[in-house]
Amino acid sequence: MLDSRYVSIDGKKIHYLSRESQRGTNAPESESDEQKTLLILFHGFPENSHAWEPFIRCTPEHVDVIAPDLPGYHLSEVLPSQRDYEVPALIKRMVLFIESVKKGRKIVLIGHDWGGAIAWPLAAFHSELIDKLVILNAAHPSTFTQSLITSKTQREKSQYIDALRDNGAENMLADTNFSLLREMLGASFFKREHEYANSLLNDWQDKNKLNAMLSYYRNMPQKIPGINASPDELANIHVPNINISLETLVLWGREDKAFDTAVLQGIEHYVPHCKVIYHDTASHWIHREYSDWAAINVIEFIEA
């Protein structure tokens, strides 16, 4: 059973789903509380916190779980300005969120897609908050940028980002019955996950929410070069140096239409304590398609 809760962060509410052991609000944190593990799950675009329900059902009851709607998504409030959707501002807000729900527990931060894009640098710059990091099909900022330089396949796979960054993206998506987003999620998604899919469609049809979701792309630090970008253009791309000292697990579906496996090349340079496990038939949506497989690997990793 998942509870629906809210917390105010820097003047804006963040909604989250929660499965936590019951403890009085004013009760002292016991030694056992401090040893408990809390999984905090960051979803990606164009989803919301309910994307994690199949995964949560596959995790043992003794593990606490919190899955927020990212700022501006679903039931979390839209942020005041475009600058609030810049990655450093999002990291700051989600750090405050983690601090507000941590309550002495060991944090395992798990991110998929855009949730992973926030989780990577958050873990790099705020490692004191987190015990371990888990990433599902979300490219590390450094290796992703490097792959844009070296991999024509990755540049081709990333061209959809320009369409989402366009000033007219909200109208384009609405006028085409959100065909781009539907294609991202897969042809059978709306039939297979009817209730959840309808909640997404309701979010997309809300122009304020859709604008907030697209603002993540519009404030990306790295613009996407053309498929056949010139050597000079590629040479001018700055590769960020994002180093992570935490033990990290990466679960990766090889059939990802958004990422070439080139995005994982050289990851050990930035994340030396990193283990990568591939799933040969999973797509970008590995957390839903193979939730039991993902949960088993995550639990083995955090209990090792």
The 10s digit of each residue's pLDDT in 157-183 is: 999 999 999 999 999 999 999 999 999
Q: How confident is the model at residue 34 (pLDDT cuts 50, 70, 90)?
A: low
> How far is Cα 68 from Cα 49, in angstroms, rounded to an integer?
6
Residue 19 structure tokens:
């499965």
Q: With a cut of 70, say whether residue 27 has pLDDT above it.
A: no
Are residues 216 and 78 in contact, defined by beta-carbon separation less than 8 angstroms?
no
pLDDT mean over 123-137: 98
Q: Which residue has the tokens 């408990």?
A: 36
Determine the pLDDT at residue 75: 98
- In the structure encoding, which two tokens stand for residue 7, read together? 């917390």
User: What are the CA-CA distances from residue 17 to residues 11, 41, 53, 69 (Å)?
Assistant: 20, 10, 9, 8
- Residue range 105-118: mean pLDDT, rounded: 98
d(CA 65, CA 52): 10
Q: Are 157 and 257 in contact (CB under 8 A)?
A: yes
- pLDDT of 188 reads 84
The model's confidence at residue 25, banded by pLDDT at 50, 70 and 90, is very low
Strands 106-112, 64-68: pairing kind: unpaired
Q: What is the DSSP letter of 127?
A: G
Say if residue 29's pLDDT is above 60: no
Provide the pLDDT for residue 21.
Answer: 84
Range from 58-72, 181-195, 226-240 carrying the lowest mean pLDDT: 181-195
The DSSP bridge pattern shows strands 247-253 and 132-136 to be parallel
Q: Which two tokens stand for residue 202?
A: 């309701």
CA distance 186 to 273: 33
Work out the average pLDDT over 113-128. 98
Structure tokens at 161: 């980002």
- CB-CB contact of 73 with 209 (8 Å): yes
Over its C-alpha atoms, the chain yields an Rg (Å, rounded) of 19
Question: Directed axis angle between helix 114-125 and helix 87-102, to 10°?
Answer: 80
pLDDT at 17 over 80: yes
Residue with tokens 């997404």: 200
Average pLDDT over all residues of the chain? 94
Q: What is the three-class DSSP state of 58?
A: coil
Domain boundaries, the chain: 3-303
**pLDDT surpassing 70 at residue 33:** no
How far apart are alpha carbons 42 and 108 in whole angstroms? 11
| Residue closest to 123 by CA, chosen among 216, 247, 15, 287 | 247
Beta bridge partners of 108: 39, 132
Quick one: tokens of 8? Answer: 């105010």
pTM check: above 0.85: yes
Mean predicted confidence (pLDDT) in 3-8: 98
Residue 32's pLDDT band, with cuts at 50, 70 and 90, is: low
Q: Among 31-35, 46-50, 116-120, 286-290, where is mean pLDDT lowest?
A: 31-35
pLDDT reported for residue 179: 95
Q: What is the pLDDT of residue 222?
A: 84
CA 209 to centroid of chain Cα atoms: 17
pLDDT of residue 218: 97
The superfamily (CATH) of domain 3-303 is: Alpha/Beta hydrolase fold, catalytic domain (3.40.50.1820)
